[in-house]
Amino acid sequence: MLAFIVVVLGVLLLTLIYGISIYNSLVQIKHNVSMAWSNIDVLLKQRHDELPKLVETCRQYKEFEQATLERVTEARSRVQEARASHDVAGLGLAEGALRAGLGQLFAVVEAYPELKANEQFMQLLKRITALEDAIADRRELYNDSVNINNVRIEQFPDAIVAGLFRFRRAQLLKFAEAEMADVDIKALFGGNA
């Protein structure tokens, strides 16, 4: 009888230790998702701060296409709103619009050699391009963290612990289909490619 009680207590103790291990692992994964989001958030804030400088530099060239600048400014605002509300789906859509606007802005710049020669513009262009690359890298890291989180909270026996402690799925950061499409170089340069 004593041996049976010891075995049962041993099994319960091992189950408890295993459950604690799963819980701690899920907490670590949840915080990795939060940290990955924070890294994206920092880069989006930096880009948010740089874009007005780029737009203002372009505005100094009186004939510069105002509609393009307005699209970039509007898309920047939508990114900021989605970022502030932690709306991952909205951020993906707003990012697609912003990137399309920036692509158009950079294509229009080709018609303004004096703007391309402007040192401030070129520094801002390099800075924003570097931020875009960093955002893409961080987005990949964030989506990897989200995927790990979502898989773990669905796997047995982790799903039991996740359900007990209300661990939730995280949302992938997806950009619009147009963002994934190949760039139409011919259209960017007015059909002369």
Q: What is the DSSP string of 158-174?
A: HHHHHHHTT--------
pLDDT in tens, 27-51: 999 999 999 999 999 999 999 999 8
The residue type at 53: K
Predicted local confidence at residue 190, as pLDDT: 47
pLDDT in tens, 108-130: 888 788 887 888 888 888 899 89
* Integer angstrom CA distances of residue 184 from 101, 125, 188, 192: 14, 21, 6, 12
Q: What is the DSSP secondary-structure string of 128-149?
A: HHHHHHHHHHHHHHHHHHHHHH
- Confidence band (pLDDT; 50, 70, 90) for 168? very high
CATH of domain 2-185: 1.20.1440.20
pLDDT in tens, 55-106: 888 878 766 778 888 889 999 999 999 988 988 888 988 988 898 888 888 8
Predicted local confidence at residue 179, as pLDDT: 52
Predicted local confidence at residue 137, as pLDDT: 94
Taking alpha carbons only, the member of 32, 45, 50 closest to residue 126 is 50
Burial (CB count within 10 angstroms: exposed 0-12, middle 13-18, buried 19+), residue 90? middle
Predicted local confidence at residue 108, as pLDDT: 82
- pTM across the whole model: 0.78
> Structural domain boundaries of the chain?
2-185
